[in-house]
Chains A and B, each alone.
With several copies, the nearest count.
Chain A
Amino acid sequence: MATIRGTVQIQIETCKGCELCIESCPQDSLALSKEINAKGYHYAVLVQDNCTGCVNCALVCPDAVITVYRTKKGGTSRTEAEKVPVAVISHVKNDVKVVLDEVPQGGANI
C-alpha cells in the first residue's frame, strides 16, 4: 500500500483549469474536476496519492495557485487512510464542499 511522499494544495477558486500542471506532472497525480468554480473553470485537483512533491506543477502554474509539500526527512510517512483533503471550494458567497467523483486508482501502485 502506497505511502505519501508529497502532496499539493490547490487554490481552486483562482485555478483557471489550464491543465499545464496536469501536463507537467510525471506522476499523473492531477486531473480537472468535473465541477466549475465561481469563475466557471474546471479546476485542478489531486486525484492520486502518488505525488512526489517534485514541484513541477507549481513551477509551471501561471497563477501560482499550487502549494507543494514534501515529507520531512525522517518524518513519518502516512497511509491511504489519512490522505490530506486536497481541495475546498469556497464560493464567493458561501462555502460548499465539492464532491470529487471516484477516479480509478492507477499508476505505479496497482
Chain B
Amino acid sequence: MTHEILFSGFGGQGVLSMGMTLTYAGMIEGKHVSWMPSYGPEMRGGTANCIVIISSQEISSPIVTQFDAVVAMNQPSIDKFEKAVKPNGILIYDSSAVIIPPTRTDITVLPVDIDREAIKLRNPKVRNMIMVGAFLNVCQVVQLSSVMKALESVLPERYHHLLDINRKALSCGEQLVIEAATPIV
C-alpha cells in the first residue's frame, strides 16, 4: 500500500514541516518514506510544497505528478493542484484562505475552516498542525500517536516548549467533524 500526498501553501505557512512530520511518523512506524520539497527561488515570496510518500514497499520515485491526497493551504494551491488529485482521491483545504472552492466531482473535497479552530486555540502559528490533524482524521496513513512522537524530532530542540500547543492543535484537528463539500453541479 502506497500513499502519495502533496502539501502546498505559501512559504511561511509551514507546509514543509507538515509533510516532514507525517513522513517522520511513517518512518517511526517502519514504513518506507520519502519527502521531496519544492526548492529554489520560486520560494521567494511564492508558494512552497512537498511530496510525501509513505509505503509498505520500496519507493522507486520520490517525485510523482498525481496524488492520492492534496492538502492545500491557500488559493494558488487549489488553482494549481486540484487537477493533480487522482480520481477518488482527496482534496482537503483551508476554507478560510480560499475564495474560489474546488469544482471537481470525481474526488472527495474537504473544506476545513482552520481560522476558526486557530482562533479557538488562540494561536495562529499552529494552523498547519490543525490541518495535519484534520487530514489524519480523514486519511489514516499513520497513527496520530506516531505523529505526536514525530513532532519531537521535527521541532528543533529550542522550540520544544511549543510541543504541547502543537500536540493540542493536532488533536483539535483530528477531532474535527469534516463533511465533504457538496459538489457544485
Q: Which of A49-57, A74-82, A91-99 contacts B (4 or more CB under 8 A)?
A: A91-99
The number of inter-chain residue pairs (CB within 8 angstroms) is 17
The number of chain B residues with a CB under 8 A from chain A is 9
The number of chain A residues with a CB under 8 A from chain B is 10
Q: Do most interface residues of chain A lie in helix, strand or loop, or is the interface mixed?
A: loop
**B45 at the A interface (CB under 8 A):** yes
Q: Are B99 and A40 in contact (CB under 8 A)?
A: no
**B176 at the A interface (CB under 8 A):** no
**Residues of B contacting A92 in the complex (Cβ-Cβ under 8 angstroms):** 75, 79
Q: Are B10 and A40 in contact (CB under 8 A)?
A: yes
**B49 at the A interface (CB under 8 A):** no
How far does the Cβ of B100 sit from chain A's closest Cβ, in whole Å?
5
Interface residues of B in 69-119 (CB under 8 A from A): 74-76, 79, 97, 99-100
Q: Are A38 and B75 in contact (CB under 8 A)?
A: yes
**A39 at the B interface (CB under 8 A):** yes
Q: Are A38 and B100 in contact (CB under 8 A)?
A: no
Name B's A-contacting residues (CB within 8 A).
Answer: 10, 45, 74-76, 79, 97, 99-100
